[in-house]
Amino acid sequence: MSKCELIDAYDDLGMTELLYAVFIGDLAKVQELLQQGANPHKPHRDAPAATPLWHAEEDFGLFEVAQALRAHGAR
């Protein structure tokens, strides 16, 4: 597996590292993962609409995190 594939890998709960960083509102970790190539579009495994951007904006109101995701192409 490549580094990006590892970053984007799902765990047993259907989460990626980026989703976890968004869930805890860790802007620095979100930025780090995005710089390492994390996919800003990859949703929760079991909820295709639950993208990192959706969680940041709609679920948690983390607008700085959402801005970082948008800066890396999230829509």
**Confidence class of residue 5 from pLDDT cuts 50, 70 and 90?**
confident
Q: How many other CB atoms are found less than 10 A from the CB of residue 15?
A: 17
Q: 46-50: list long-range contacts, CB under 8 Å, 24+ apart.
A: 46/14, 47/14
pLDDT of amino acid 35: 97
pLDDT (tens digit, 9 = 90+) per residue, 31-71? 999 999 999 999 999 999 999 999 999 999 999 999 999 99
Q: For domain 3-71, give the CATH number.
A: 1.25.40.20
Instruction: Say what the pTM is.
Output: 0.93
pLDDT at 2: 73
* Residue 59: per-residue pLDDT: 94
What pLDDT does residue 43 have? 97
Domain spans, the chain: 3-71
